[in-house]
Chains A and B, each alone.
Chain A
Amino acid sequence: MASVLRFRKLCYVESAVKCTSVGYESFEIDEKLDEKEEDVLSANNFALEINKKRKQPKRQPKEWRCLDSCCWIIGYLCTTWWLLLFFYHCLPVTLLRVPELPGPGVRLKREGLTALHPVVLVPGIVTGGLELWEGRPCADGLFRKRLWGGGSFTQIFKRPLCLLEHLSLHYETGLDPQGIRVRAVPGLVGADYFAPGYFVWAVLIENLAKIGYEGKNLHMAAYDWRLSFQNTEIRDHALTRLKSKIELMYISNGYKKVVAVPHSMGVIYFLHFLKWVETPPPMGGGGGPGWCAKHIKAVMNIGPAFLGVPKAVSNLFSAEGKDVSYIRAMAPGVFDSEILGLQTFERVMRMARTWDSIVSLLPKGGEVIWGNMDRSPEEGHVCDFSKKSHSKTSLTTNNVNNSDVKRGFLVKDLANYGRIISFGKPASVLHSSKLPTADSKEFLRTSTSENFNNFSCGEAWTEYDEMSRQSIQNVAADKAYTTTTLLDLLRFVAPKMMRRAEAHFSHGIAENLDDPKYNHYKYWSNPLETKLSDAPDMEIYCMYGVGIPTERSYVYKLSPNSRCKSIPYQIDNSVHGEDGSCLKGGVYFADGDESVPVLSAGFMCAKGWRGRTRFNPSGIATYIREYRHKPPTSLMEGRGIESGSHVDIMGNFALIEDIMRVAAGATGDEIGGDQIHSDIIKMSERINLGL
């Protein structure tokens, strides 16, 4: 850069000397040649004199110029930088500190709140750190270093394939592969920050500490979030440890019951725990039927995924979920580039499919909850919120050039949320009678003929490789899938994964909860197939953000068939609805916290468990606390103190205040009972579930 500039300047000087355009031209030619060809150049009469003048003084600086000005610049920058850094460190700490908004902790301390009930934090999926305990040679030197979360993800960049290998589980068993042990990072550090500066629990912890919480009455129930819930007990005794920790805190804090604060998937993990702990030993924890009543004051679910999230579907189906795992958050940087060759998505998908826990997030309750082909509980939901919160341009520039779609349908462009996956936009809007019936039996009849393609695809094996082209087409043929048929679909496209995972999770609705089969652990994490424990004094809170468009159903298309790009389906990004429609980029949005739709987060507290129902025989009190999303007003606020999005809500001051008040002894009624902004009550009423 500098040298080019310099050259131009020289030219300018020379031409000034010569004052003739001819000379200038010849000089330019000379410049392109090397010094050694001076003799040749000397033939040029016009330029001879100038060359002599130029070359001799230039010989010495020429060695300088090129590299040295670079050095000079870098040296200059470094010096300035160091100086600034030095000043920065010399400054008193208080001067530079951004005047932090006094969190609710300080205020509540002034009000006189002190730590009363011990608090257990249960992190959700992907936010917990994982560290290596035993690995292949490629992971040398990473012993007890974090592979996931916490530190920087530098290792992903350094040895991506190695990391993927270590983070994957065994495809058949869902446990450790041979010779690899990756374990959850224990303690508060396990999930306080996901990445440096990206808090998860840190803000809550800090505020709790203000009123006197510390290691002895604050516990992070870290578990390996990749495993199915029962497997965390089988492999790591995570549930036993949690039980023992809760009992210890209960005793050592003067027999004060524990307040549990699960987040995201941690909510259903804790639900599983509550059933597990009261079940007799071989399968459960043997705590006896009164354990929960004795030890737990309240369960404060943050962003609960009680009934699953549609995102999990797209994630499993095509590895495209927007952020059920943060993999996708990092995607623009890493995964879309070609670091891993062309198979990034396949590899990620393969890894994610070995994680049983993602299956736990599939929508539960089937068509009763999530709606069928023609109706859904969110019916009539108007997506005007998306226009407000998002930039106006994105919606107005939607070009409605779907020529193949009839105008008639667009007029009545109400989202059929019930169709969680539709192939092509028509399938998503057509009336059900006009659609080819998606008969689940049909899949079973289709023979999965061997596809010999898979040998050429290297290691990135996903179960799609085993499907024949024909069956891939069959799946797609202009169909729409509801939550029930969706499970059949997944069983068809990934039979091994579903066989493995469905031994641990169930997604139905119980007819008769007294059926002895419901004693099996696979039902424990499904609120629609278990009874809450007999603990009338316990309280259950559903705390979640609203006001952010949340993925609810998808429009898919077949992806252009390339040889090894083996995921045959992808979200049809080109499909957009009209203004006011909830369809954007192939995704139908509903109200929620960006990950969990309101329906999933709120239904159990709003209706399923409200009062004495068959799911809640002892009448445990439930409270809904919704927090309307407000984006941060200024940059200084970081991720906002009023955010309602799935993870950022952990820094929402109102939510933190609620948790602290409950931890300090308040009951649900004292903090104000329900606080509802969304249509959750109306939606719940539309759901026809026997209670």
Chain B
Amino acid sequence: MSSLRRRKPINESSDSKHKAEEEDEGHDDVDADGDDDVNGKNKKTPSKIKKKRGEKPPKQPKWSCMDTCCWFIGCICITWWLLLFLYNAMPASFPQYVTEAITGPLPDPPGVKLKKEGLEAKHPVVFVPGIVTGGLELWEGRECAEGLFRKRLWGGTFGEVYKRPLCWVEHMSLDNETGLDPCGIRVRPVSGLVAADYFAPGYFVWAVLIANLARIGYEDKTMYMAAYDWRLSFQNTEVRDQTLSRIKSNIELLVATNGGRKVVVIPHSMGVLYFLHFMKWVEAPAPMGGGGGPDWCSKHIKAVVNIGGPFLGVPKAIAGLFSAEAKDIAVARALAPGFLDNDIFQFQTLQHVMRMSRTWDSTMSMIPRGGNTIWGGLDWSPEEGNSCAKKREKKNETQIADQAGSENAVCKAKSANYGRIISFGKDVAEASSSDIERIDFRGAIKGHSAANTTCRDVWTEYHDMGFAGIKAVAEYKTYTADSLVDLLHFVAPKMMARGTAHFSYGVAGNLDDPKYKHYKYWSNPLETRLPNAPDMEIYSLYGVGLPTERAYVYKLSPHAECSIPFKIDTSADDEDTCLRDGVYSVDGDETVPVLSAGFMCAKGWRGKTRFNPSGIRTYIREYNHLPPANLLEGRGTLSGAHVDIMGNFALIEDVIRIAAGASGEELGGDQVYSKIFNWSENINLQLDEEIPVHSSS
């Protein structure tokens, strides 16, 4: 941008005008110089000059004041141009030389390495991007969005966010009732690989993987980005855009044009759930499903390689929906420190964001599923005993030695109650369940707060709750995964009414129940069966070793008008129980806890279970997070973070090998660093078909 701007004075068509100016300035300059000169002489031979050109001296200050400024800017510009010129003249491989000189020779990117091994493109590859990483573009908008036709509203540079924030929010929002387009606005997903290769300039998502796949011969005809509008509920993408039909048709085409070789599907993040939905949809009969017949998946899919899959939801989604405070479920929040928290929107930033994101049905697909069975009750959780010892070990070894000796018993008692996903107050989070007095909020009467009318258009459903309702919520003290859904129903009834039509969060009692034919169950792995495709493979690839949000300590926020009444109590800290800034964290990839990413492959689908009747093989591949060794590595080639893992060389190598035909066994089977298998054991979930158990209400 800056280069562009700087070049413009030269290139611009208004050159002539500038030249005229320039000449003018030139003349002025001459005058000034001449004056200066004369003035200089003035000092030497004052009398002589004064006689002749006495009228000149008053002009002197002009040069020193603004002109030095101009001179200075000119100097900077010239240096800049010079550097820019040198940079452009520099051979493209130069930065690499520098990097190699500093860090030593870089390892070959996996694509190059595997090409040397002789791997070639074999199975076509389908990418399914996750939430927020896909680009969205405008097809029809209000007046304020004029000139943005087919420009990206989401992804890319986000320039419009700064220029016309309210307009942007309006266009990104969906209709609050239907969860579809508002009247007169059509925002559609960008299609093709460009949809999600880079999220913002320089911030790769799929680009590294694509580049490496291209090395072994992949190209457009063998790669397909299943871009979809990630704001919609999964079934609505089909209703509005026929996205599922398009994916189906494209996969069929890929298989047909590549000599009948099945596709390898690589979903990321929410794309994992989306593709789960797709697999059920495609085999379901026509009106509701895609009518592909019961063996469509086994005919067309070789493997589903899930990257960072939130199979069972993420606790972050709760915080996001509850108080718009999740750290990065939406990258909107990543931008937050820069501009969302300041006053562009006149204090209502968070409300605007919340209002916008609450119209997105898809965020509700990420609410933790499986209730207390999976996520733990008031007094237990599968991750129990996961003291943050591991992390502390890294930080401070002496400290742990001290504590282990003296306070072992206390420490154990104080292990975090992860099951209480939301607690009001730290003491509540730590107290034993018998000590907590809870007043049921469900029947509480919502009052009407007077604030409603003054809040103009920033309407969130909190305004309908009134003080009584808010108080009732806080009185209930602590919420487990089960009661959380009820809580959300209470605080945002309209949103949840919309959401529950499309998603379900329970555990199925009897999977033969005809109600499970409805699409709302398709994206919940605990309420659907995998397709009948014994040759298919399911991988779960995710990073571990990063603290990941798991439970929150909330407080009532000082009540200001128009604000969100709850917020995370950032003052709550506890070394022993992984509580930091009001957030309990566990092992994971910074967004998805290990439990959610790994449980289905570790236990739920392992072997022949009722969720996996045909015995599809599952593999877990974990990647231990290592931060980039130095700045030159950018986001690191060993990262385990939710999005950065897409640039993890080990993961890319695995993906390429699978795409080139390797099976899970050839890859090395499971690769586990976390305690996922132990934790899975803790979960008491019925896996046999014969004895259906109603484990959740």
Q: Do the two chains bind? A: yes
Taking Cβ atoms with an 8 Å cutoff, the residues of A that contact B are 1-2, 5-6, 9-10, 13, 16-17, 53, 56-58, 60-61, 65, 68-82, 85, 89, 93-94, 97, 133-134, 140-141, 143-144, 158, 181, 183-184, 186-189, 192, 205-206, 209-210, 214-216, 236-237, 240-241, 244-245, 247-248, 251-252
> Do most interface residues of chain A lie in helix, strand or loop, or is the interface mixed?
helix
The distance from the CB of A370 to the nearest CB of chain B, in whole angstroms, is 38
Does any Cβ of A come within 8 Å of B241's Cβ? yes
* 4 more A-B residue pairs beyond the given contacts A61-B40, A77-B21, with a C-beta to C-beta distance below 8 A: A70-B74, A72-B25, A72-B70, A93-B146
Chain A residues, Cβ within 8 Å of B25: 72-73, 76
Known: A17-B52, A78-B73, A214-B186. A209 touches B40 (CB 8 A): no
Assembly CA distance A70 to B246 (angstroms): 60
B149 within 8 A of A: yes
Given the contacts A6-B30, A181-B219, A141 and B92 also touching, CB distance less than 8 Å: yes
Q: Inside 8 A of B6's CB, which chain A residues have their CB? A: 78
- Find chain B residues with CB under 8 A from A1 CB: 23, 26
Q: A65 CA to B40 CA in the complex, in Å?
A: 14
Inter-subunit contact A71/B43 (CB<8 Å): no
> CB < 8 Å: which of B18, B29, B37 contacts A69?
B29
Contact: A209 with B71, CB < 8 Å? no
Decide yes or no whether B69 CB sits under 8 A from chain A.
Answer: yes
Interface residues of B (CB under 8 A from A): 5-6, 8-9, 18, 21-23, 25-27, 29-30, 33-34, 36-38, 40-41, 43-45, 52, 67, 69-78, 88, 92-93, 139-140, 143-144, 146-147, 149-150, 163-164, 186, 188-189, 191-194, 197, 210-211, 214-215, 219-221, 241-242, 245-246, 249-250, 252-253, 256-257
Return 15 A-B CB contacts under 8 Å, by A number.
Answer: A5-B27, A6-B30, A6-B33, A6-B34, A61-B40, A70-B78, A78-B9, A94-B146, A134-B215, A141-B92, A181-B219, A183-B219, A206-B150, A214-B139, A237-B221
Q: Are A206 and B249 in contact (CB under 8 A)?
A: no
> Given A5-B30, A6-B33, are A209 and B38 also a contact pair (CB < 8 Å)?
no
Instruction: Return the contact of B73 from the options A75, A97, A183, A189 (Cβ within 8 A).
Output: A75
Q: Is the CB–CB distance between A10 and B139 below 8 Å?
A: no
Residue of B nearest to A7 (CB): B30
User: CA separation between A82 and B21, bound complex, in Å?
Assistant: 15
A237-B257 contact, Cβ under 8 Å, with A5-B27, A6-B33, A94-B146: yes
**Cα of A94 to Cα of B142 in the assembled complex, Å:** 13
Q: A74 contacts B78, CB within 8 Å? A: yes
A9 touches B34 (CB 8 A): yes
Bound-state CA distance A53–B36 (Å) is 14
Contact (Cβ within 8 A) A82 B245: no
CB-defined contacts of B147 to chain A, threshold 8 Å: 93, 97
Q: Is the interface of B mostly helix, strand, loop or mixed?
A: helix
Cβ 8 A contact of A58, one of B37, B88, B256 = B37
Closest CB-CB distance, B290 to chain A, in whole Å? 11
In the complex, chain B residues whose CB is within 8 Å of the CB of A192: 150
Q: Does B73 lie within 8 Å of A10, measured CB to CB?
A: no
Query: Shortest Cβ distance from A117 into chain B, in angstroms?
Result: 15
Residues of A within 8 A of B257 (CB): 237, 240-241
| Given A2-B29, A73-B74, A133-B8 contact (CB < 8 Å) | no
A2 to chain B, nearest CB (A): 4
Who on chain B is nearest to A71 by CB?
Answer: B74
Contact of B93 among A61, A93, A140 (CB under 8 A): A140
Q: How far is the CA of A404 from the CA of B5 in the complex (A)?
A: 58
Residues of B within 8 Å of A61, CB to CB, are 33, 36-37, 40
Shortest distance in angstroms between A302's beta carbon and chain B's nearest beta carbon? 21
Report whether A215 and B189 are in contact in the complex, using a CB–CB cutoff of 8 Å. yes
Given contacts A5-B26, A6-B30, A236-B221, contact A244 B249 (CB under 8 A): yes
| Known contacts A75-B71, A79-B70, A57 near B30 by CB under 8 Å | no
Q: How distant is the Cα of A216 from the Cα of B33 in the complex, in angstroms? A: 67
State the 3 A-B residue pairs at the shortest beta-carbon distance, nearest first. Answer: A75-B74, A57-B40, A71-B74
Which interface residue of B8, B71, B92 has the most chain A CB atoms within 10 A? B71
A214 to B29, Cβ gap below 8 A? no
Q: How far is the CB of A209 from chain B (nearest CB, A)?
A: 5
The answer to whether A252 touches B242 (Cβ under 8 A) is: yes
List, in ascending order, chain B residues with CB within 8 A of A158's CB. 88
